[in-house]
Structure formats: structure tokens, C-alpha cells
Amino acid sequence: AQTVTQSQPEMSVQEAETVTLSCTYDTSENNYYLFWYKQPPSRQMILVIRQEAYKQQNATENRFSVNFQKAAKSFSLKISDSQLGDTAMYFCAFMKHLAPGNTPLVFGKGTRLSVIA
């Protein structure tokens, strides 16, 4: 079974600074997807960024980028120029090819990020 580990329960960062959230995962699969989701106080899970394992290039979405190390099974999220609106729970998630009997997204336990003015 796949597992996702986020070793930082809580983090804080000053506004406009850069912060990196860590995530490691365990799988024997070769093809899969990795995700970072954000959950603000509104509770809705919002997709921040997605990485396909077969792509060597790290995904980037505006101020959000990842460092995907497939051999090390590591998938960290870097938030640049942090904004107060980035304050939220961040979940790392794993998905292998989705087929009947497979589990969809497997989540880590989350990292609570606070952006301080």
C-alpha cells in the first residue's frame, strides 16, 4: 500500500519570504501522480500543483513549484513570495493509475502553514 509522510505538522513564514514544505512517499509503482492540495479555513480542498512521475521536469504554477526527486521518493513544495492568503493546511497526495479496486488519492496528514505579516 502506498503511504505519504509529511514530517512538518506546522510551519510559519514571514510575508514575502520563501518556504518549503516536505513530503515523502512510498510506492513500488513506476507511473503515478503527486499532488499538493491546500485547505484554507473554508475547508474546501484546492489543487495547488500536480506532478506526473514520468516527467522529469518539476511542475511550476506561478509562485508554487515542486522539487520532485523520484529516486528518493521526495516531493517538496516551495512557495515563493508568501502571501497572507497562503495560510492554510497543505496536503501532499499520491495517486497511481486509477482503476477499479485502486485507491484514489492517498493523503499525508498535512502541514499547517501560517504566513505572518
Q: With respect to another protein, which residue has the nearer C-beta, 16 or 109?
A: 109
Distances in Å between the alpha carbon of 47 and those of 1, 9, 52, 71, 93?
Answer: 23, 19, 14, 24, 10
SS3 52: strand
Q: With respect to another protein, which residue has the nearer C-beta, 81 or 109?
A: 109
Site membership for another protein, residue 31 (CB under 8 A) = no
Site membership for another protein, residue 7 (CB under 8 A) = no
Binding-site member from 108, 111, 113, 115 for another protein (CB under 8 A): 108
Contact 113, 19 (CB under 8 A): yes
Beta strand 32-39 pairing with 60-61: unpaired
Site membership for another protein, residue 41 (CB under 8 A) = no
Nine-digit cell at 1? Answer: 500500500
Nine-digit cell at 22? Answer: 516536505
Binding-site member from 10, 109, 114, 116 for another protein (CB under 8 A): 109
Residues near another protein (CB under 8 A): 33, 37, 42-47, 50, 91, 95, 98, 100-110
